[in-house]
Structure 1
Amino acid sequence: MAVATTRLKAAIGYSSHIGRRTENQDFAAACLADARSHHGLVAAVADGVGSRKGGRVAAELAVRSFIDDYLSQSEALSPQKTAGRALESINHWIHLQGIKDENLKGMACVFTGIVIKGRRLHSFHIGDTRLYRLREGAMGLLTRDHKPDGAETSNFITRAIGFDEAVRIDYRVHDVMPHDRLLLCSDGVHGKLNDTQIGNILAQRLSPDETAKKLIDLAMELGGDDNTTALVIDIFELPPATVKDLDAFIARLPMRDPPEVGEEVDGFKLEAMLSDGIYSRVFRARDLNEPRTVILKFPKPHNLQADTSARQAFVRETWVASRVQHIWIGSVLLLPPKRQTCLYVAQPYYEGETLEKRLSRKPAVSLTEGLDIAIKLAKALGSLHRAGVIHRDVKPDNIILLRDGGLKLLD
């Protein structure tokens, strides 16, 4: 048995160039917390504005303090609260120093920071630094430049850390998936490279360090004269989804009337109905996007209470499958968020028969065969118990006897 790891696994790469300036006022850093911690990954990039010395001081202070303050707070607190407080404190200090210290007069910086905790990406954005995400070949910009309407190409910004006594932060929560690639960059990158050029380099899947350097080099080749900084993060593995994560995802999915054989749902062709119970309808389906056969289970809502119960049941089933991985336990297929448009559970299709059917046909189950089934089932239940999960519906109809002699405990 393998209980899914709580460890976030990622690779981080960085590159920066002074351009034709006398000082590099950009600053970026990242930290992947210790395996014993649940803080996850924190990263940030900042670009100084204002006086030459003050800009660099503001950028470095903002990034270092953001990371240090977040990691020093309790893991039980939300990233929004811990990181938000840190940025408010940083803004207050930088604003005061820009007033009191003549050498740092007008010091400020634009800033983009992220926290990846669990299976969520929390972004904190002020100014015109940027956060991009590459997923399955498609790139998206996850931040919005704070510039006057109609002046998107100008150097004028409307928000920065240190501008005012209070800071307005764009806080967003995004889903994150294995194989996502993230880019945090200063305007030295996106000011010279368009989104297509940036996306093409990210999609080459060079190492994070090589990718960051390639972005910087191309910006310089195209005449870049500003400080230019890129921080690239590759996500390899995520902790298992929590009940809260799954509940938030499933809550967004509408419940539809159960489909019929022959229909297509999210790229699945429904080929045969396997069961039509009071609470759900189950189909064998063919995946039109890749060569595999799957099982799709659709809820049958009757009223608001049934709707709520169905969602809770689907959350529990998906959470258990993501948390416990065992050779004798059926798994759940976690589909990309953009693919699934309604509420259902997808599972691999297991060739075989239920224990219920086996018990009803001849020849009768022999002692040897019965012991083999019992031992495998006991091991499956033992793995669930060690993970803190109690299966409340163990019955012959929820046990699949595979053609190769294996077994799968479902539901």
Structure 2
Amino acid sequence: MSAAGSYLVRGAALRDHWFDAPLDHADPSGPSIRLFAREIYDPALEAANLPWLLFLQGGPGGRGNRPLGLTGWLREASKNFRVLMLDQRGTGLSTPASRQTLPLVGGAAAQADYLAHFRATDIVADAELIRAALGSGPWSVFGQSYGGFCALTYLSMAPEGLKEVLITGGLGPLAGPADQVYEATFARLTARNTEYFARYPQDRAQVTRIMRHVACVAECLPTGERLTPERVQMLGNYFGGNTRIDALHYLLEDAFVPTPDGDRLSDGFLAQVSAQVSRAANPLYALMHESIYVQGEASNWAAARVLAAHPEFHPDAEEPLLTGEAVYPWYFEQDPALAPLREVAGLLAARTAGWGPLYDLAQLGRNTVPAAAAVYTDDIYVDHGISLATAAAVQGLQVWETSDFHHDGIADDGEGIFAQLLGMVRG
């Protein structure tokens, strides 16, 4: 382990830590990777030597948050903890996994074997290695979205390392297949489309117009590739938030501008769309997303198979619906950041070897670690019904069910949500 000196960012004290970890924790003498984590604390409380809280980010493939001060849930957490913001393996400053770096490990088959070590079980093993290196006793863990999935794996595989667990929007299914996830979330996404177009009825025609336009007219994103109807549909990602749903309306309202060649999509619109639909910043999301749901079976592009049975989401539907958080084979054809990874993505989708158990159901059934989870009634990414079924399988897990927030609830009221869950686990 190595660490840098502390520094201040708008009242938050930060300290950077690096750790060496085996790629395969079952083979400590094999290849190693580098892990990065950032310590965040209130400098006024430094002498109190507060206990650790590990934050596990959503994703998969999302780096830890880069704080600009003690705001949101960090403000509340820093009253009781030193927060450790982990860049999960393959993300941020931890040894990256992308189109640029993966060829260093070999061809597509070697890359798929390499990425088989980038799952929740590996992230938990990394966390335990880091906890030992920091000299911490059992620590607290806060998991958002996929970070909650990882927290459930932690409760399964290494409960001795945990003092308490908080989860927001992150109670995924404990068993496969992945299809069940998309059957549930497409239903919620349909309802969210209905809600959105009832709020902004003028946007129904605008979305259809944009999709019909890009099917016929070559409109290119700033990264050079053509914008397609399928990628326009990805703007449904905005539906995952309380306020972001309104941001979609503001994006759509100035999509077209007049030109000598007729109405075209504006440069401003295309730039904003590009930021939403590119996976350049988190390629692991596209590569590993469906693997977070499988245990022993292949995903075989589950979202694409389920989508095929829902014609209302087809780009050529009369009034096509927006999609959102799912990964499809065409991602690896249309996104320049993913195109070089097309073969490895196909191997991962067909893979069964290496997709071992993510959860120990017996251990979860006898859990003694205090745990609490926020379950959002209308969450379009982590289904409410699946979440409650999972909660019921974890002994002692308390559920705070609310319709006040969507999937990114901690972006809206992180302080309140964190305080609510911490209060629940501490009685």
Give the TM-score category using the shorter length: under 0.3
Of Structure 1 and Structure 2, which has the larger fraction of its residues in helix? 2
TM-score normalized with structure 1 length:
0.26
**Structure ranking higher on relative contact order (CA contacts 8 Å, 6+ apart):** 2
Kindly name which structure, 1 or 2, has the bigger radius of gyration based on alpha carbons. Answer: 1
Of Structure 1 and Structure 2, which has the larger fraction of its residues in strand? 1
